[in-house]
Amino acid sequence: MLMNDIVNAFKFIGEAKQGSAENLIKNIGFETYRHLIALRFIKEYQGADNPEKLWKITKAGKAQKEFYREPTAAEKEDGRFLAGLGI
């Protein structure tokens, strides 16, 4: 599993917040899906009147999603400046 996979997964679950497990697996892959459950960033459950497995983002997942957000223009500029300095 690549770091990019996790970043893209957090972007996806942050936007969706909940939904079908099957749909999420199609979008992020089974390995990444199981990894996010193991880390307790998403919770898998089954609805009372729905045989389909569902998922929802947890509090830990919401906090982690903020970590993987897109940098602001100011943060990108700071990064370019520091890279120019060799830091």
Cα separation, 84 vs 3, whole angstroms: 25
Task: Look up residue 56 and give its two tokens.
Answer: 């929802």
Cα separation, 67 vs 49, whole angstroms: 35
In the chain, the number of structural domains is 1
In this predicted structure, the answer to whether residue 2 has a pLDDT above a threshold of 70 is no
Which of 30, 5, 13, 25 is closest to 65 using CA atoms? 13
Q: What is the pLDDT of residues 33-52, one digit of tens each?
A: 999 999 999 999 997 887 88
Please indicate whether residue 61 or residue 67 has the higher confidence score (pLDDT). 61
Residue-level pLDDT at 24? 92
Residue 68 belongs to domain with CATH number: 1.10.10.10
Domain limits at 11? Answer: 3-85
Residue-level pLDDT at 8? 83
Q: What is the mean pLDDT of the chain?
A: 86
Please indicate whether residue 78 or residue 63 has the higher confidence score (pLDDT). 78
